[in-house]
Amino acid sequence: MQGMPRRLYGTALKLNHLMQKEKIWHPFNRVWHWVFALVVIGGWYTGQFMTFSTIAWHFYFGYAALILVGVRLVWGALMLTSKNSGGLYLPSFENLILYARSLKSREPSGTAGHNPLGTLSIILMLLLIGTQGLTGLFIESIDFFETAPLTHLISEAMQSKMNWWHHTVSALLPYIVGLHLLAVLFYLIWKKENLIMPMITGWKWVKRDNTDSHTQS
């Protein structure tokens, strides 16, 4: 396939049967992802533009985000030993470097699940949003006369630390989500690989030699 226009490379891989369509995302992952995205956006919006009537909603979105992070981490741990793509493993440094080097080639990764960099960024995103939710449980809103359920358990000094973390992470969140969307766009445009459709339908074009890589790091 040498000398072939780059935009045709992915198609050529498919025609040459080097890639096959496989169902890689369990319905759990797909439903979880879109619900999580809505909940995080809802939580951020009701926090950023908080009013007396939306603070309760902010708490509900926050609890939902925390539950979803917890459920995803448990699912990620349970799926580590299965063929399912949802296992969350910590990729080795070597694999991260190897994968990062392959980013410049305009060839679809064809990974049957998240690639090593994707897994790392998703673990970091879960930890960050988990931190946001957990710190929220311990703060109070002076402007809206509302106290989170666990605020009374800690000292005022700790509350102000939690408040600092809650505000700082909330300021970072739009950039983190923006980076996530840019990465998806990078795959679509640069690597000619649509990651969005698989997150909706479950089906993805996967390289044949990658079909057993669900649990590899």
Assign residue 3 a region (left: φ > 0; alpha: ψ between -120 and 50; beta: otherwise): left
| Cβ-contact 29, 85 below 8 angstroms | yes
- Encoding tokens for residue 30? 């797909």
Distance of CA 136 to the CA centre of its chain: 20
Per-position x/- string for 146-165, each x denoting binding to ligand HEM as judged by CB under 6 A, each - no binding: x-x--------------x--
What is the Cα–Cα distance from 201 to 103, expressed in whole angstroms? 25
CB of residue 209 to ligand HEM, shortest distance in Å? 18
Q: Who contacts 108 (Cβ-Cβ below 8 Å, separation ≥6)?
A: 9, 10, 13, 19, 187, 191, 192, 193, 205, 207
- Rounded (to 5) percent helix, strand, coil in the chain: 65, 5, 30
Restricted to residues 25-64, the positions that interact with ligand HEM (CB under 6 A) are 29, 32-33, 36-37, 40-41, 43-44, 47-48, 58-59, 62-63
Of 57, 9, 143, which is closest to residue 1 (Cα–Cα)? 9
| Cβ-contact 217, 95 below 8 angstroms | yes
- Encoding tokens for residue 193? 């690989």
Q: What is the CA radius of gyration of the chain?
A: 20
CB of residue 118 to ligand HEM, shortest distance in Å? 4
**Nearer Cβ to ligand HEM, position 4 or 83?**
83
**Nearer Cβ to ligand HEM, position 2 or 53?**
53
Please report whether residue 65 would count as binding ligand HEM according to CB under 6 A. yes
**Nearer Cβ to ligand HEM, position 94 or 143?**
143
Please report whether residue 87 would count as binding ligand HEM according to CB under 6 A. no
Please report whether residue 114 would count as binding ligand HEM according to CB under 6 A. yes
The DSSP H or E segment spanning 193 is: none
**Nearer Cβ to ligand HEM, position 3 or 199?**
199
Piece in contact with ligand HEM (CB under 6 A), picked from 7-15, 92-100, 126-134, 208-216 = 126-134
| Cβ-contact 163, 139 below 8 angstroms | yes
CB of residue 125 to ligand HEM, shortest distance in Å? 5
- Residues of the shown chain interacting with ligand HEM in the complex, contacts defined by CB under 6 A: 29, 32-33, 36-37, 40-41, 43-44, 47-48, 58-59, 62-63, 65-66, 86, 114, 118, 122, 125-126, 129, 132-133, 136-137, 139-141, 143, 146, 148, 163, 166-167, 170, 173, 177, 180-181, 184, 195-196, 199
